[in-house]
Amino acid sequence: MDKTWYIRPYQKGDTEELFAMMEKEADWNEYCNEKNKENYLRAIQTSITYLLFEEEKICGYARCREDDGFGVYVYDLLIDHNCRGKNYGRYLMEQACKDFPEQTVYVMSDVDPYYEKQGYQKEGTIFIVKPH
75: confidence class by pLDDT, cuts 50, 70, 90: very high
Partners of 57 in the beta sheet?
54
Question: What CATH number is given to the structural domain containing 46?
Answer: 3.40.630.30
Asked if residue 10 belongs to a domain, the reply is yes
Give the span between the Cα atoms of 18 and 49, in whole angstroms: 11
Give the span between the Cα atoms of 77 and 132, in whole angstroms: 32
Are the beta carbons of 107 and 120 closer than 8 angstroms?
yes
Q: How many angstroms from the chain centroid is the CA of residue 107? A: 9
Asked if residue 83 belongs to a domain, the reply is yes
pLDDT digits (tens, 9 = 90+) for 29-48: 889 988 899 999 999 999 99
Q: Provide the residue range defining the domain that includes 95.
A: 5-117
Give the span between the Cα atoms of 90 and 112, in whole angstroms: 14
Asked if residue 124 belongs to a domain, the reply is no
Q: Where are the alpha helices (DSSP H) in 65-111?
A: 88-99
* Number of separate domains in the chain: 1
Asked if residue 53 belongs to a domain, the reply is yes
Asked if residue 132 belongs to a domain, the reply is no
Asked if residue 125 belongs to a domain, the reply is no
Neighbours of 105 (CB within 10 A): 21
Asked if residue 127 belongs to a domain, the reply is no
The pLDDT score that the predictor gives to residue 37 is: 93
Neighbours of 31 (CB within 10 A): 19
Q: Where are the alpha helices (DSSP H) in the chain?
A: 15-23, 29-32, 34-46, 88-99, 112-117
Looking at 24-28, 49-53, 80-84, 119-123, which range is the least confident one? 119-123
With 0-12 / 13-18 / 19 or more C-beta atoms within 10 angstroms meaning exposed / middle / buried, residue 43 is middle
Asked if residue 55 belongs to a domain, the reply is yes
